[in-house]
Amino acid sequence: MKKNERVKIIIKRLEEIYPETPIPLDHKNAFTLLVAVVLSAQSTDKKVNELTKELFKVAPSADKMYKLGKENIYSYIKQLGLSNTKAKNIYKLSKIIHEKFNNIVPNSFQELESLPGVGHKTASVVMSQVFDVPSFPVDTHIHRLSQRWGLTSGKNVIQTENDLKRLFPKNLWNKLHLQIIFYGREYCSARGCNGKICELCRELYPNRKKPIICSKA
């Protein structure tokens, strides 16, 4: 099966399984989504949602988060991995958004990636889900499945992102990246599939004999 044929099957199957793609991180606005994505690094969405429920009640905006202070921010998120660093970054980025951007989350990759704790993936999530700018944020699930589905060699997430952008129609990027994440969590997890177990892997590669060893993101 050719790569373009696999792409068509992936689009069709994921749309059948996930016609709706709600953002898995709970948020109230652009700022709280940005914070939630920063906090989600090396943490589960479920845990982030548990801890931000109270945090966002008291600090739903950049000015209120900044005024809350690093120590208080830390007290809400201390159960997360890298919580001390995350608290510092949330405080610093809140201050910058408050003072430099008048409490409005910037809507460009360059400005977002200039904020503490905000890398390209985080900026891509915000650009795609808040500002509807076609983006393809690559997390560990997307990086893994892209290799299992023969869409990239998976040397790094930058290459994976570029390969996916070349293969899939631009108007599908924002939804498709969530559909792939959902499928990776539910059916094609790191330990639950090896490239020849889940239904989609078997459909794309019916004659695959050897397990696929994926490179990490």
**Active site members:** 121, 139
- The pair of structure tokens assigned to 195 is 């490239």
**Lookup: tokens for 10:** 């992936």
54 SS3 class = helix
Q: Rounded distance, CA 49 to CA 66, Å?
A: 20
Report d(CA 174, CA 95) in Å as an integer: 29
CB proximity list for 80: less than 8 A, separation 6 or greater: 39, 43, 47, 48, 51, 86
* Two structure tokens written together for 20: 């709706």
CA distance 173 to 161: 10
